[in-house]
């Protein structure tokens, strides 16, 4: 049994923390104009967007939990489960980062944050 690469574990946790922050902004703080400006580039409150953001925030939270549980599972000698969770959760995060930048190039900063840490975690897991 090999321990999960330290790099994979660190970047999976960073990716998870990024997605917990996204959860907080989308599901808990979206009522604030300043948060809406960060997330959408606009300050007006649109009820349909608020509902979408609330739901999307939970997707982000669940992906973060998957990454955290994967790192924990790997650290407690459940290699296959840990690798599978990290690969799935971080793979989904990284792919969503690509979708974000393709859908609106102005969101490239957020897309980088959403893509780079989980992509490093995926590569480091595959190479460990």
Residue 65, in any domain of the structure: yes
Residue 38, in any domain of the structure: yes
**pLDDT in the model for residue 43:** 92
Alpha-carbon distances of 63 from 1, 4, 22, 54, rounded to whole Å: 26, 19, 11, 15
| Count of domains observed in the chain | 1
User: What string of H, E and C letters represents the secondary structure of the chain?
Assistant: CCCCCHHHHHHHHHHHHHHHHHHHHHHHCCCCHHHHHHHHCCCCCCHHHHHHHHHHHHHHHHHHHHHHHHHHHHHCCCHHHHHHHHHHHHHHHHHHHHHHHHHCHHHHHHHHHHHHHHHHHHHHHHHC
**pLDDT in the model for residue 1:** 43
Q: Is the pTM of this model over 0.75?
A: yes
Residue 1, in any domain of the structure: no
The residue range of the domain holding 75 is 6-127
Residue-wise pLDDT for 9-62, tens only, equals 999 999 999 999 999 999 999 999 999 998 888 899 988 899 999 999 999 999
Residue 111, in any domain of the structure: yes
**pLDDT in the model for residue 4:** 59
Residue 13, in any domain of the structure: yes
- Using pLDDT thresholds of 50, 70 and 90, give the confidence band for residue 2: low
Residue 76, in any domain of the structure: yes
Residue 77, in any domain of the structure: yes
């Amino acid at each position: 049994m090999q321990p999960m690469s330290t790099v994979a574990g660190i970047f999976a946790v960073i990716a998870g923390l990024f997605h917990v922050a996204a959860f907080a902004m989308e599901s808990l703080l979206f009522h604030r104009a300043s948060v809406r400006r960060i997330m959408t580039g606009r300050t007006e409150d649109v009820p349909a967007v608020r509902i979408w953001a609330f739901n999307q925030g939970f997707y982000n939270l669940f992906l973060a939990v998957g990454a955290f549980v994967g790192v924990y599972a790997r650290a407690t000698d459940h290699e296959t489960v840990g690798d599978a969770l990290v690969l799935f959760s971080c793979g989904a995060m990284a792919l969503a980062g690509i979708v974000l930048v393709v859908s609106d190039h102005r969101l490239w900063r957020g897309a980088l944050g959403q893509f780079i840490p989980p992509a490093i975690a995926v590569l480091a897991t595959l190479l460990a």
